[in-house]
Structure 1
Amino acid sequence: MKKYEQTIGQLNAMVDDGIVPGMTYLIFDGEQEYSAVRGMAELQPEREKLRSGMLYDLASLTKVVGTVPVVALLLQQGRLGLDDPVKKYLPEFTDPRPTIRNLLTHTSGIGGYISHRNELSAPELKRAFLTQQHVDDTLNRQIRYADVNYLYLGWIIERLCKAPVQEVIARQVLQPLGLPTATFHPQPQQTVPTEIQSGRGLIRGQVHDPKGYILGADCGCAGLFASLADLRIFARQLIENNLNGLLTPAMVAAMFVDQTPIPGPHSRSLGWKLFHDPRDQHLLISHTGFTGTWLVLDRQTDQGFIFLSNRVHPTAQNQAYLDRRDQVFATYLREKSAFQKTL
């Protein structure tokens, strides 16, 4: 049987069935690689074929490709502590309980409604997030994925590095890793469009996430655009050489173990979601992006899966994608474990 035959079949069906307009993917297994570019970049108002090398709005992959490596560098330098209170760095946030670890693992319990959020200016939105959120009883008890955690991490980076978080990511991560096209400021025609919205029209070359759109360079939860070539470099360097030596082996290893403050094993490390390999239950890491992107990485076996799509085009109302994504994940995990060779 051809390696990853069922996974690749399900990926092709996502395009054939109109679940995504198009897709770019790479499955790597040691030195072996399986990749393809299929389908359309744009369906409305024009039809445009997807091209190799186009940039995708990574959405929440920004968290793990950009923000988490910068936080890891600050931890290595001793400028930040995992169990430091958030309030130490963001005094406007008055609750002394949530920590950096809570933000990284989405166990902070921070949340709350901000009225007319998408109509605020950047300074107003930032102030609202820092002063109008509360900590509920899920703190240290429950994983509740929320962008606010990575907005806070971005602003902590800004306080420590004296520059907008996206500038810090570009300087400390994108450039040292030699990512050829990853950027927060793409040329629109090089990007894959996302949603068509009544207020913004066809979104192309601008971040889809409304918070990221308002906050611009001060957003640590979304905003990065990248090609498959960029993510291939990042993924391989993370699991093969500790991000080209930027991180210590111990720091990368910490991304592959449960880091939540909740008793018992749970599914969050430093930024990443954890999955068990079906073969021997060792842990691998994964993250998804709202726009239709995902990464799955296995450090122990040197295997990875990068998927890029614009499943929110022309509309984000696409439950079928979420159902298919879960199916593809399960198939991939089963097939990868059947072929893997432990290093």
Structure 2
Amino acid sequence: MYPYTQKKIIKMLEDAVFPGATYTFIEKDKTESRLVGSAAILPKRDALQDGMLYDLASLTKVIVTTTVLLQLHEEGRVHFEDPVQAYLPAFASGDVMIRHLLTHTSDLKGYIKNRDELSSEELAAALISLEPGEDIGKKVVYTDTGFILAGFIIEKLTGKSVAENFEERIKRPLGMTESTYRPQDPLGCVPTQNHPTRGVIRGVVHDPKALILGSHCGSAGLFAPMNDLIRFSQMLLHFGEWEGQRILKEETVRFLLQDWGSVSGQPRSLGWNLFQEGNDFVLWHTGYTGTFMILDPNRQRAFILLSNRVHLVDRRPEWIMVRDELIAIYLKEVCEKSGITKNATV
């Protein structure tokens, strides 16, 4: 499937954009997966093997936090137009709604002094005390803060950690058997950055806030292999149900395929980013470590790429440029295959 997209992935490998990658295309009942390159290059070069876990980074936002909140909404326990203060009374503003957190339109000012030196409790208190600016609901500014607060709301409603909610509500029903917030075997994970103080990070989360917050983090922290992400993706591609397990109602997935942010030129769903293909929206999201998912439930089509592009060095501007080139090639091939005259755009 998609030969030009695959050719671009090989070119990215040859150009050392990442040491290796695992990628999957889904087209209705057909799934095609590939491994390219190495898992690690330091302290020695390790082969990339099927089933290795990736630090998903911000894919945690949509796989875990968004999905659990959608389930709680279905249960009538949370409403997206409710103020955050209704669930977190210590939160600094009464004007920020849950919808603002999930669409990155809360305009929260996220600077926290000495953030990486705080304890989990201190960091949580600092995050809850953050105040918004004057542009609530008027512009999209992507941050982790809103989803960490969303994770706190999940914990307040359920009395269980974000990680425990994932285990009970998503992992077990879908059979995502290897996905975890706490990998037991570091060598079964692809490593990330060669950090100046932490050394080569392997089997421990890369994101500094998630490192502090652990199982209570709604923005990052999940590790998973490709096979588990295929199961999660198939659930959304089949409008909430996969292999007899209904995770979300069909109508819930359908209203994900709408613009909830209402900011001109920057469509955002709840948790997910959006781009348009023909007359429909398609879900997509990225992760800092070099991951992304593109899901089109209307056509049961997906493209998932997992890489550890921060190993060994974090070259983020280069990554964003070539990642967007890769996605554009894929979308062009999708449009040509589907007979859509107007190309989808990121």
Q: TM-score range by the shorter chain?
A: over 0.9
- 1:33/1:112 CA distance change after superposition, 3 Å: closer
Deviation for aligned residue 1:235: 0.4
- Contact 1:294-1:306 within 8 A present in 2 as well: yes
Q: In the alignment, is residue 208 of structure 1 matched against residue 198 of structure 2? A: no
Q: Which residue does the alignment assign to 1:12?
A: 10
Within 5 A, what are the aligned runs for 1:163-202? 163-186=160-183, 187-202=185-200
Q: Which residue does the alignment assign to 2:256?
A: 255
Decide which of 151, 154, 158 is 1:157's aligned counterpart: 154
Equivalent residue of 2:310, what SS?
Answer: coil
- 1:74/1:45 CA distance change after superposition, 3 Å: same
Q: Which residue does the alignment assign to 2:34?
A: 36
- Contact 2:235-2:247 within 8 A present in 1 as well: no
Deviation for aligned residue 1:189: 1.1
Q: Structure 2 CA distance, aligned partners of 1:208 and 1:270?
A: 25
Equivalent residue of 1:134, what SS?
Answer: coil
Q: In the alignment, is residue 113 of structure 1 matched against residue 114 of structure 2? A: no
Cα deviation, 1:108-167, whole Å, max 9, x if unaligned, reads 111231111001111111111111x11112211001111000000000000000011111
Q: Structure 2 CA distance, aligned partners of 1:134 and 1:207?
A: 27
Q: Which residue does the alignment assign to 2:141?
A: 144
- Contact 2:104-2:141 within 8 A present in 1 as well: yes
Cα deviation, 1:40-94, whole Å, max 9, x if unaligned, reads 1111121111111100000000011111110001100110011000011111112
- Contact 1:177-1:243 within 8 A present in 2 as well: no
- 1:87/1:72 CA distance change after superposition, 3 Å: same
Q: Structure 2 CA distance, aligned partners of 1:149 and 1:267?
A: 17
Q: Structure 2 CA distance, aligned partners of 1:336 and 1:30?
A: 13
- Return the letter of the residue paired with 2:301: Q
Q: How many residues align?
A: 336
Deviation for aligned residue 1:341: 8.2
- 1:328/1:127 CA distance change after superposition, 3 Å: same
Within 5 A, what are the aligned runs for 1:29-68? 29-68=27-66
- Contact 1:54-1:190 within 8 A present in 2 as well: yes
Equivalent residue of 1:73, what SS?
Answer: helix
Structure-1-length-normalised TM-score: 0.95
- What RMSD, in angstroms, separates the aligned Cα atoms of the two structures? 1.4
Q: Structure 2 CA distance, aligned partners of 1:55 and 1:159?
A: 29
Equivalent residue of 1:135, what SS?
Answer: coil
Structure-2-length-normalised TM-score: 0.94
Stretches of structure 1 that go unaligned for 5 or more consecutive residues are: none
Cα deviation, 1:289-329, whole Å, max 9, x if unaligned, reads 00000000111111100000000001213432221100011
Q: Which residue does the alignment assign to 2:227?
A: 229
Q: Structure 2 CA distance, aligned partners of 1:173 and 1:225?
A: 14
Q: In the alignment, is residue 24 of structure 1 matched against residue 25 of structure 2? A: no
- Contact 2:239-2:253 within 8 A present in 1 as well: no
- 1:318/1:152 CA distance change after superposition, 3 Å: closer
Deviation for aligned residue 1:100: 0.7
- Return the letter of the residue paired with 2:328: A
Decide which of 78, 94, 97 is 1:96's aligned counterpart: 94
Deviation for aligned residue 1:176: 1.0
Equivalent residue of 1:215, what SS?
Answer: helix
